[in-house]
């Protein structure tokens, strides 16, 4: 009965429009009260959810991403990508994917990717004769590269949710190949659709222009190298690398590019504070919710249920993927990471799936959920930036869904995609 109350109150809160963080907290407190557990324990779990040193990396990563968004790094990455691959048939679609891979690896945020690159590329693509739905669909689906390619604050949340079962440096390494694989699949889809629609190619600007744009983009690209390289080398902890990355992004945008002024700096600070507050409240309340799930033995019951249906590991993995995809369509990503990880990680351990591989499976699934209705935040933002009704985008986005799903299946059933790099470097 307590579990039904927990899930029922949560569902009711979401239906009436409460933010997911408050829905998690209210339902957890309701279940705690019903079970006769002292409320003090519930509030202790909420505080304990964010009383973790490694979480300090999240505001630094977010701030670094905002500084780069408002400081002109995105436009230089787009210019380099356009000069590098724009000469291919329908090249601006591939430029979009390539730019997302580069910027996503710096900002670590899908929404920042859409806001920064979408506002630049979507109008350009329209002016070049590309249909609005194509421009929006490529921008939306490629934006989730920022979730998988390190550094990503969602990876830190996943590492926290595993209870220390994975290290952040290894998780960063595990995301490189899956992220590149997914972007490659999306680039192929963008090319096929572009050829089918008869889009043309841009003129190659010449090696000199390409070299100049590359060197112009290097200071921005070094942000990701500093953050990830500092963690992998052991010079920095994840938190220290985030702080240094934010400082470096500030220096690059103010001193090197001279594109960040006082007004845009204030916007970056306010946006960072707002985003960090939302993430931290979500993590705190999800801590109490996950505690009650453990009290009600939900992870154990889920293992027993799935293994009772079949002992075929392939079928179990497919069922978990379907569940994660469905949940990703209706809930916030950070909340799902915190809720689903303790539920499904024991099943993965039973199947012999490495937690690093599970992390990639989880992140790609939930990233795809950000691009799907009814609650796909990336889809909403992309349509808003592109001034396109969501209904029109949904009608033609399916080739890009297939591309992401193809990458997801490869990541699910070929462990080497996620595990080779961490094993080589560790």
Instruction: Tell me the pLDDT tens digit for each residue of 100-110.
Output: 887 766 666 67
Measured between alpha carbons, how far is 15 from 290 in angstroms, rounded to an integer? 20
Predicted confidence (pLDDT) at residue 55 exceeds the cutoff of 90: no
Sorted by where each begins, the domain ranges of the chain are: 2-425
Contact yes or no for 155/171 (Cβ under 8 A):
yes
**Between vectors from CA 118 to CA 116 and to CA 119, what angle results, nearest 5°?**
70
User: Other CB atoms closer than 10 Å to residue 48's CB: what's the count?
Assistant: 13
Predicted confidence (pLDDT) at residue 49 exceeds the cutoff of 70: yes
Predicted confidence (pLDDT) at residue 167 exceeds the cutoff of 80: yes
Q: What is residue 284's predicted lDDT score, i.e. its pLDDT?
A: 84
Q: Confidence band (pLDDT; 50, 70, 90) for 426?
A: low
Q: What is residue 67's predicted lDDT score, i.e. its pLDDT?
A: 83
Contact yes or no for 336/327 (Cβ under 8 A):
yes
Q: What is residue 407's predicted lDDT score, i.e. its pLDDT?
A: 95
110-152 pLDDT per residue, tens = 777 777 677 777 887 888 788 989 999 998 898 888 788 887 8
Location of structure tokens 């590991």: 313
Predicted confidence (pLDDT) at residue 374 exceeds the cutoff of 70: no
Location of structure tokens 């506002």: 119
| For range 82-87, the mean pLDDT | 78
**Between vectors from CA 323 to CA 322 and to CA 327, what angle results, nearest 5°?**
120
Higher per-residue confidence, 159 vs 115 = 159
Q: What is residue 271's predicted lDDT score, i.e. its pLDDT?
A: 83
Q: What is residue 375's predicted lDDT score, i.e. its pLDDT?
A: 65
Predicted confidence (pLDDT) at residue 9 exceeds the cutoff of 80: yes
Mean pLDDT (the chain, rounded): 84
25-47 pLDDT per residue, tens = 899 889 998 888 888 888 888 88
Q: Which of 168, 148, 157 is nearest to 236 (CA)?
A: 168
pTM assigned to the model: 0.84
Tokens matching residue 143: 């934006």
User: Other CB atoms closer than 10 Å to residue 37's CB: what's the count?
Assistant: 16
Q: What is residue 108's predicted lDDT score, i.e. its pLDDT?
A: 62
Predicted confidence (pLDDT) at residue 299 exceeds the cutoff of 80: no
Predicted confidence (pLDDT) at residue 300 exceeds the cutoff of 80: no
Location of structure tokens 């390539």: 98
Report the percentage of the chain scoring pLDDT > 70: 97
239-298 pLDDT per residue, tens = 888 888 888 889 888 888 888 888 889 988 888 888 788 878 878 888 888 888 888 877
Q: What is residue 228's predicted lDDT score, i.e. its pLDDT?
A: 76
DSSP-assigned letter for residue 204: P
Q: Confidence band (pLDDT; 50, 70, 90) for 314?
A: confident
């Amino acid at each position: 009965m307590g579990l039904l109350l927990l899930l029922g109150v949560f569902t009711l809160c979401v239906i009436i429009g409460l933010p997911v963080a408050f829905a998690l907290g209210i339902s957890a407190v309701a279940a705690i009260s019903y079970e006769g557990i002292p409320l003090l324990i519930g509030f202790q779990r909420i505080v304990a959810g964010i009383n973790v040193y490694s979480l300090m990396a999240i505001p630094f990563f977010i701030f670094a991403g905002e500084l780069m968004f408002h400081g002109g790094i995105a436009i230089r990455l787009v210019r380099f990508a356009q000069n590098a691959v724009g000469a291919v048939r329908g090249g601006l679609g591939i430029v979009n994917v390539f730019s997302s891979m580069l910027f996503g690896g710096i900002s670590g945020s899908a929404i920042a990717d859409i806001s920064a690159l979408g506002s630049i590329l979507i109008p350009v693509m329209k002016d070049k004769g590309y249909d609005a739905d194509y421009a929006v669909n490529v921008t939306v689906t490629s934006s989730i590269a920022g979730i998988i390619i390190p550094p990503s604050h969602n990876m830190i949340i996943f590492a926290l949710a595993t209870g220390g079962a994975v290290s952040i440096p290894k998780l960063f390494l595990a995301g490189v190949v899956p992220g590149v694989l997914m972007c490659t699949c999306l680039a192929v889809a963008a090319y096929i659709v572009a050829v089918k629609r008869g889009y043309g190619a841009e003129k190659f600007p010449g090696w000199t222009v390409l070299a100049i744009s590359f060197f112009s983009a290097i200071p921005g690209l070094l942000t990701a190298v500093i953050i990830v390289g500092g963690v992998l080398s052991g010079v920095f902890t994840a938190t220290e690398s985030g702080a240094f990355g934010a400082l470096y992004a500030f220096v690059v945008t103010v001193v090197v590019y001279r594109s960040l002024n006082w007004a845009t700096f204030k916007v970056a600070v306010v946006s960072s504070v707002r985003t960090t507050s939302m993430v931290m409240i979500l993590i705190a309340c999800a801590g109490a919710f996950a505690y009650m799930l453990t009290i009600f033995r939900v992870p154990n019951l889920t293992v027993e249920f799935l293994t009772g249906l079949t002992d075929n590991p392939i079928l179990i993995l497919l069922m978990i993927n379907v569940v994660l995809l469905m949940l990703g369509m209706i809930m916030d990503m950070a909340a799902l990471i915190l809720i689903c990880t303790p539920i499904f990680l024991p099943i993965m351990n039973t199947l012999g799936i490495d937690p690093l591989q599970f992390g990639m499976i989880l992140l790609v699934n939930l990233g795809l959920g950000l691009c799907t209705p009814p609650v796909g935040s990336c889809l909403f933002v992309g349509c808003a930036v592109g001034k396109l009704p969501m209904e029109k985008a949904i009608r033609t986005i399916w080739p890009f869904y297939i591309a992401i799903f193809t990458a997801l299946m490869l990541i699910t059933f070929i462990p080497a995609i996620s595990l080779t790099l961490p094993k080589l470097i560790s």
